[in-house]
Amino acid sequence: MMNKFSNLNYRRDFQHQETAYKISENRYIDETEIINFILNSNTSDLLKFSQYLRNRENNLKIITYSRKIFINLVNLCKDTCSYCTYKKEPSAIESIMLNPSQVLSMVEAGKKLRCTEALIVTGERPELKYIEAKNWLNKLGYKTLVELISNLSEMILKKTGLLPHTNAGSLTKKEMSLLKSTNVSLGMMLENSSEKLLEPGNAHEKAPSKNPKVRIKSLISAGELKIPITTGLLIGIGERLIDVVKSLLLIKELNERYGHIQEVIIQNFAPKVGTRMENANPPSEDYFLKCIAIARILLKNINIQVPPNLTPIVYSRYIDAGINDWGGISPLTPDYVNPEYPWPAIDDVQTVTKSKGFTLRARLPIYPEFITNPSKYTYFVTENVKDYIEALIDNTGLVKEEYLQ
């Protein structure tokens, strides 16, 4: 069985070959050995290994994406990240606070374009910082943003059949519980588990909700509530490679405990004009590819996504690094978090995917393994959303082709 790794030149060191074998066969391996293996392997070898692991599990050679409508519900935020242009001040012309009729109009337009996901994105607890956000909620009849999202999600389900997926930052267990009956999954980026990024001058200095302790607590709460969740890392914001490895090992440990992490996004930092980090360098292609490969190697049974719009010229290479998903792509709404980087046309993504020998298929905002596995379906999916899920899928748990036509 060791011969399957003979083409991987891990410094021609038997120790590294043995480590690769143990990773592949799910043998016990301690953190020190994993870190040593990663830090002493070159990018080319890691890419070969990650491809092998992905292809072994993905024998149908499918790369997925989620056809979505992006609902930018409110872009006020109590935090200030050093790289973010999403956050706006209430006085800014670009500030957004939508009402339910606007949201439903957007979702209905998305349904006509055969979307299946209603992605609800907000700033982090804006009502705690801005009286304008508090007044907006009060005018709509809500005390908190999560109460509004809960009711909106129910309206979206009942009126359109699209499946809500909320990313509102770090949520409490009580807040997640409120969303569970109407959201098939939730999203929250860990970004990194290193607390050094909170230090003065670093990326999260003015973003207390990005404290890893806060984010980890939310991920644990999602696990305890049996909610499928998407998380991920932001690469190139001042972390070291060992920080990436430790962050991925943390995600791995949480998923082994709860089985709820459906997807990990590996996203490259892109410097933006007007931010404190506008002159910072983005991650090199070699470093970013290595991070993707490491994610696949350490998280073999978790879906790995890289958004294609942030690097439109080279995104085909991410298939070589072991991804199996492109994330949400909208045929209608922009990427409000990264408006400088429009999504590629779905037909173009299909062409790129096919050029690498894979088939592009649409999925729901809950992955097939949570639908087709009876125990997971019972454990992680509430009765309230099952009829909506089953109306959209074929027997593989992916979106049925006739829905998209």
- Which pLDDT tens digit goes with each residue over 149-185? 999 999 999 999 999 999 999 999 999 999 999 999 9
- Is there a domain that residue 228 lies in? yes
Domain housing 219: 62-337+348-404
Under the banding of pLDDT at 50, 70 and 90, the label for residue 18 is confident
Q: Any idea what the CATH number is for the domain that residue 382 is in?
A: 3.20.20.70
Q: What is the pLDDT of residues 82-135, one digit of tens each?
A: 999 999 999 999 999 999 999 999 999 999 999 999 999 999 999 999 999 999
The pLDDT of residue 365 is 98
- Is there a domain that residue 1 lies in? no
Under the banding of pLDDT at 50, 70 and 90, the label for residue 1 is very low
Read off the pLDDT of each residue in 309-316 and give the average, rounded to a whole number. 96
The pLDDT of residue 2 is 42
CB 294 within 8 A of CB 248: yes
Tally of CB atoms within 10 A around 16: 21
Q: What is the mean pLDDT of the chain?
A: 95
The pLDDT of residue 7 is 53
130 CB contacts (<8 Å, ≥6 apart)?
A: 76, 78, 90
CB 269 within 8 A of CB 236: yes
- Taking alpha carbons only, the member of 108, 119, 32, 50 closest to residue 307 is 119
- Is there a domain that residue 45 lies in? no
- Is there a domain that residue 173 lies in? yes
Reading the block at residue 105, the tokens are 């109009």
The pLDDT of residue 10 is 45
Q: Which amino acid is present at 343?
A: W
The pLDDT of residue 16 is 75
Q: Rg for the chain (alpha carbons), in Å?
A: 21
Helix axes 285-298, 241-258, angle to 10 degrees: 20
CA atoms within 13 A on the CB side of 123: 27
CB 119 within 8 A of CB 70: yes
d(Cα 376, Cα 369) in Å, to the nearest integer? 8
- Is there a domain that residue 51 lies in? no
The set of long-range contacts for 103-106, using a CB threshold of 8 Å and a minimum separation of 24, is 103/71, 103/73, 103/152, 103/155, 103/156, 104/155, 104/156, 104/159, 104/160, 106/69, 106/71, 106/332, 106/333
The pLDDT of residue 11 is 44
Read off the pLDDT of each residue in 263-271 and give the average, rounded to a whole number. 97
Q: What is the pLDDT of residues 355-379, one digit of tens each?
A: 999 999 999 999 999 999 999 999 9
Question: How many structural domains are present in the chain?
Answer: 1
Under the banding of pLDDT at 50, 70 and 90, the label for residue 3 is very low
**Torsion angle, CA of 303/314/87/244, rounded to 10 degrees?**
50
The pLDDT of residue 15 is 55
Taking CA atoms, 292 is separated from 41, 66, 121, 308, in Å, by: 14, 20, 25, 13
- Is there a domain that residue 375 lies in? yes
Q: What is the pLDDT of residues 50-91, one digit of tens each?
A: 999 999 988 889 999 999 999 999 999 999 999 999 999 999
The pLDDT of residue 405 is 87
pTM over 0.75: yes
d(Cα 145, Cα 166) in Å, to the nearest integer? 12
Read off the pLDDT of each residue in 38-44 and give the average, rounded to a whole number. 92
- Is there a domain that residue 2 lies in? no
- Is there a domain that residue 32 lies in? no
